[in-house]
Amino acid sequence: MVRLYALLAIGQLILAVVALISCLSAEDDEIRALPRFAWVLIILFFPLVGSIAWFVAGRPARTERPAAGGRPAGGRPGGGRDRRPPLAPDDDPEFLRSLDDERSKRDRELFDNWERDLRRREEELRRRDSEPPREEDKPDV
């Protein structure tokens, strides 16, 4: 009998840990019914009931998986849901495009500045070559 109680206690502890990890790793806008803080307290103070309640009523709804035909089970492309935003900025094509536009603009400005500087230096060299040599510039013989 003691072994059965120990086994049930270990099972309850494992269930509570899994529920707590699931609760803490869920996105804020996906948690249902109560705020995250309340779910954590319920799971900690009532491990068995709180863990079961989390899995039944609190955790994010399971996303639909595509059926064999490549469409979600709902039948419509996208499963009738809006497209989720990218999780990171480097997954967002619009953000990457804006970075590329910024980089192109900055490169163009650098190139234009370099070109202006090069023209200015060439102009200085032409003026210097067209001027007669000064006394101090003549070599000593």
Query: Using only C-alpha atoms, what is the Rg of the chain?
Result: 35
| Overall average pLDDT of the 1-26 stretch | 92
Single-letter residue type at 135? E
Q: What is the 3-state secondary structure (H, E, C) of the chain?
A: CHHHHHHHHHHHHHHHHHHHHHHHHCCHHHCCCCCHHHHHHHHHHCHHHHHHHHHHHHCCCCCCCECCCCCECCCCHHHHCCCCCCCCHHHCHHHHHHHHHHHHHHHHHHHHHHHHHHHHHHHHHHHHHHCCCCHHHCCCC
pLDDT digits (tens, 9 = 90+) for 59-116: 876 665 555 545 454 444 444 455 666 677 777 788 888 888 999 999 999 999 999 9
pLDDT at residue 60 in the model: 74
Q: Which residues, other chains included, contact 47 with Cβ-Cβ below 8 Å and sequence gap of 6+?
A: 12, 13, 15, 16
pLDDT digits (tens, 9 = 90+) for 22-55: 999 988 888 888 889 999 999 999 999 999 999 9
pTM over 0.75: no
- Biggest CA pair distance of the chain: 117
pLDDT at residue 83 in the model: 65
Q: Does residue 136 have a pLDDT over 60?
A: yes
Nearest to 57 by CA among 80, 23, 81: 23
pLDDT at residue 129 in the model: 80
Q: Which residue has the higher pLDDT, 122 or 64?
A: 122
